[in-house]
Amino acid sequence: MKTGARLPQPDGRSDCNRLRVEDAADDRIVVTLDNALSRNAIDETMVAELHAVCSVLESEPRILILAGANGLFASGADIAQLRQRGRDDALRGINITLFERIARLPMPVIAAVEGYALGGGAELAYAADFRLAATSLRIGNPEPALGIVAGAGATWRLRELVGEPLAKEILLAGRVLDATEAKAAGLVTSIHASDALLPAAHELADRIGRSDPLAVRLTKAAFHAPRSAHPLVDELAQAILFESPAKFDRMQAFLTRRSSTPNPTGERGERQPTTHTNAVPPKEGP
């Protein structure tokens, strides 16, 4: 695994070479799935590496951009390994435990998805907060054709993302969506040429990075809290942020900018309300 200095080898293994990890900026890292021989299949080695990435991002929260090398995101789980797994392996929740951990990372996760994102590869993308697509995208869950269920999040995440009718078509009838269909369904937010996909992910990360990191973290946490936790979770998050130095600094900067902006009369200071002259006059009596 090619990493930055702060990303250790998981469990001391020496054969962890399924990912490329780049410290792209102080506020983000880029993780690229890269195993050409298996078309970026998610095997246990890749799972271990991704857990190592999560450990770093849980202790040092940053934006995570997930991408794939070799012209695709991930062709699915490693079928050779799946074929050998039994009941106890299923109960270990190898992939779902990882994908849940990724979904719960403190800062947003952006999946830059191109080519095939099937089975476990699709479920990894579903766990992200944002999905951006290349024009080559083909995404779906063909697991029942292999005699198994899409057991790493698709059976419930997909319904939340695209609605029940389309989710059933993907899960039960094996429908694979292209990029245009995925965007129409709201599964991805934008479509890009392959060479523009990662720059688009960085542009989105830049927009996120302009906000206060703690406010972003608490907004994500509140968003994913169960309905029964609201409004208490919102009040607690706001109470924390109301006392944060960033809140005072950012609000003071906003007020300073506003006070230095000329108002419609040419004077500096707080803008006066504008009187609209094109309002419809009151209707007179008959």
Helix (H, G, I), strand (E, B), or coil: what is residue 210?
A: coil
Show the DSSP H helices in the chain as ranges: 44-59, 79-84, 87-92, 94-103, 120-126, 154-162, 164-173, 179-184, 194-209, 213-224, 232-242, 245-259
Residue among 49, 100, 123, 181 flagged as catalytic: 123
- Best CA proximity match to 205, nearest among 113, 102, 136, 132: 132
Pairing label, strands 177-178, 138-140: antiparallel
Helix (H, G, I), strand (E, B), or coil: what is residue 111?
A: strand
123 is catalytic: yes
143 is catalytic: yes
Helix or strand run (H / E) with residue 191: strand 190-192
Q: Which amino acid is at 31?
A: V
CA distance 27 to 211: 11
Pairing label, strands 28-33, 63-68: parallel
Pairing label, strands 19-25, 28-33: antiparallel
Question: Cis omega before residue 231 (within 30°)?
Answer: yes
Q: Is 208 exposed, middle or buried (0-12, 13-18, 19+ CB in 10 A)?
A: middle
Residue among 60, 143, 235, 243 flagged as catalytic: 143
Known catalytic residues are 123, 143
